């Protein structure tokens, strides 16, 4: 006989003396036929008789479920209360946990419908949505201003996070315990936008979210949510989570390692304003190109279409799906010599490379030495601009947070401005013949749409006014200075060493 799945019905309660008994009584007993079901109530330091009503309901023998009642010694807030409940579910090895509210706003009879997709492996989280039925929330008594606010916030969040949920703001949810174990929900806020943060964590990890329609109930319950403050928190949290991909902000709770992630953080961005796009347009047909951080090889594949002879080097071996059609060498540029002579190529690419090297000065000196007899070779390099205005603002506010990628990438060993990047190459033996600024990769945060195109255009115009202040990246083209050895060789070729 197969063992039943273990289900925890978790009720968050705060000053719910009028409704908590009814919520408990309405939990369908049919759950016991299919699952090993227990109920957890956590009272968040209520100042009414919520706890007494809970014990009274349990002693009445009308509650068929094994029920736990916990009392927070101090008020933990809506989010903090959830954290404790989910930790309880994890430690007791439940398979999933269903979140109910003690104020009776959500119908417990929907539990069976919400739990099934998680237990059947069809979803990692299921949300009860009041918006899947047209105008159902309004018919259920939701005030018009709350309905409109819910719709507006959900539209905004779907747009920014590239999702299509019907509602972000329902508190009726079922989570897989396996999913909860893999996201840092303990770092989330203790306030009401905890629900938003946990959705973002699930999305960033790649977990599957399903929605099921639920009825709406609005009675005389007291709302402890400050609507304007809640909306502000949701907007700020959503924006910060999304632009974290740009490396402008960093929140540890949104630093999620997805099940789909690969070992490469940086990919060629050929369909947007980027160093790779500039390089693709700059390099002429039939050139010889060496890419010293080729990543997936997308840029070199496009250059091959221009009849270029290309070669790639990277410290990470190519993935099978990359299917490289050009010579590739795996090499740790920090500790190993180049396996190929850079002087044999017309262009040597260093996109997002210099800032990761332990000794960039020595590295550039070695490149210069290899190109000492190849004065026509050109270096194309890019790096993050530490003087980008959001970084300056954060520094003014005392913030300097490293993250997984972007300008303040944790793996960066050096940080550059336009002047210091230029000086690095000049002191390495190169003449800098071109420098320009690259706008922020807004498309990565907002997707390819008119808004991101407009913001990018504004960013490009601002770069024209002040490239140091408004450039997200620095793009540089340099060529080796004519070495003394080359000058001596040319002098010998034109002169005569015979004694006069």
Q: How far apart are the first and last CA of the chain?
A: 107
Q: Both tokens of residue 46?
A: 């209520």
How many Å apart are CA 46 and CA 363, to the nearest integer?
64
How many Å apart are CA 243 and CA 418, to the nearest integer?
23
Q: Structural domain boundaries of the chain?
A: 6-254, 275-487
The full DSSP string for 80-119 is HHHHHHHHHHHHTT-SEEEEEETTS-S-GGGHHHHHHHHH
In the prediction, which pLDDT does 246 show?
63
8-state DSSP, 378? E
Tens digit of pLDDT at every position of the chain (500 positions): 468 899 999 999 999 999 999 999 999 988 998 999 999 999 999 999 999 999 988 888 678 889 999 999 999 999 999 999 999 999 999 999 999 999 888 889 999 999 999 999 999 999 999 888 777 677 767 788 888 888 999 999 999 888 999 999 888 999 999 999 999 999 999 999 999 999 999 999 999 999 999 887 665 555 567 778 999 999 999 988 887 766 667 788 888 765 444 444 455 677 788 999 999 999 999 999 999 998 888 899 999 999 999 999 998 877 766 677 889 999 888 887 888 899 899 999 999 999 999 999 999 999 998 887 777 899 999 999 999 998 898 888 887 878 777 888 888 999 999 999 999 999 999 999 999 999 998 887 777 888 888 999 999 999 999 999 999 999 999 999 876 665 666 666 666 655 54
In the prediction, which pLDDT does 218 show?
62
Sign of the torsion angle spanned by Cα atoms 391, 396, 397, 402:
positive
How many Å apart are CA 464 and CA 262, to the nearest integer?
36
Same fold for the pair 6-254 and 275-487: no
Q: Is 282 exposed, middle or buried (0-12, 13-18, 19+ CB in 10 A)?
A: middle
Q: pTM for this structure?
A: 0.71
CATH superfamily of 6-254: Spore Coat Polysaccharide Biosynthesis Protein SpsA; Chain A (3.90.550.10)
Q: H-helix or E-strand containing 370?
A: helix 360-370
In the prediction, which pLDDT does 411 show?
86
In the prediction, which pLDDT does 262 show?
42
Which CATH topology does 275-487 take? Rossmann fold (3.40.50)
Q: Is 258 helix (H, G, I), strand (E, B) or coil?
A: coil
């Amino acid at each position: 006989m197969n063992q039943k799945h273990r289900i925890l019905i978790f009720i968050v309660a705060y000053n719910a003396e009028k409704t908590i008994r009814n919520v408990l009584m309405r939990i369908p007993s049919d759950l016991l036929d299919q699952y090993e079901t227990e109920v957890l109530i956590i009272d968040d330091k209520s100042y009414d008789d919520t706890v007494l009503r809970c014990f009274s309901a349990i002693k009445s023998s009308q509650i068929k479920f094994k029920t736990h009642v916990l009392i927070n010694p101090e008020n933990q807030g809506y989010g903090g209360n959830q954290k404790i409940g989910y930790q309880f579910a994890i430690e007791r090895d439940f398979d999933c946990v269903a979140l109910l509210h003690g104020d009776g706003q959500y119908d417990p009879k929907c539990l069976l419908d919400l739990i099934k997709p998680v237990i059947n492996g069809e979803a990692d989280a299921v949300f009860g949505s009041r918006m899947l039925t047209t105008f159902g929330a309004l018919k259920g008594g939701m005030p018009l201003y709350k309905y409109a606010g819910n719709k507006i916030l959900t539209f905004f969040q779907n747009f920014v996070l590239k999702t299509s949920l019907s509602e972000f703001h329902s508190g009726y949810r079922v989570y897989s315990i396996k999913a909860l174990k893999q996201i840092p929900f303990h770092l989330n806020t203790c306030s009401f936008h905890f629900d938003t943060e946990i959705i973002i964590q699930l999305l960033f990890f790649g977990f599957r979210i399903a929605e099921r329609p639920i009825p709406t109930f609005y009675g005389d319950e007291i709302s402890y949510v400050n609507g304007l403050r809640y909306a502000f928190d949701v907007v700020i949290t959503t924006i910060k989570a999304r632009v974290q991909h740009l490396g402008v902000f960093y929140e540890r709770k949104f630093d999620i390692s997805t099940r789909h992630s690969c070992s490469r953080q940086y990919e060629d961005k050929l369909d947007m304003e980027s160093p790779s796009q500039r390089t693709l347009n700059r390099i002429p047909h039939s050139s010889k190109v060496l890419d010293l951080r080729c990543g997936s090889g997308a840029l070199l594949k496009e250059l091959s279409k221009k009849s270029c002879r290309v070669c790639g080097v990277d410290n990470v071996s190519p993935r099978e799906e990359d299917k490289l059609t050009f010579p590739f060498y795996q090499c740790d540029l920090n500790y190993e010599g180049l396996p190929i002579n850079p002087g044999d190529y017309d262009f040597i690419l260093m996109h997002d490379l210099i800032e990761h090297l332990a000794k960039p000065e020595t590295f550039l000196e070695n490149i210069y030495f290899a190109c000492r007899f190849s004065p026509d070779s050109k270096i194309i390099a890019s790096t993050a601009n530490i003087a980008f205005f959001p970084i300056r603002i954060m520094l003014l506010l005392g913030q300097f947070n490293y993250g997984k990628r972007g300008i303040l990438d944790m793996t960066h060993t050096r940080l550059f401005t336009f002047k210091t990047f230029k000086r690095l190459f000049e002191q390495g033996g190169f003449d800098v013949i071109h420098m320009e600024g690259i706008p922020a990769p807004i498309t990565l945060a907002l997707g390819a749409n008119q808004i991101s195109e407009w913001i990018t255009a504004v960013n490009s115009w601002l770069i024209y006014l002040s490239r140091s202040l408004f450039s997200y990246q620095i793009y540089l083209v340099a060529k080796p200075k004519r070495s003394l050895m080359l000058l001596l060789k040319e002098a010998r070729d034109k002169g005569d060493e015979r004694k006069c």
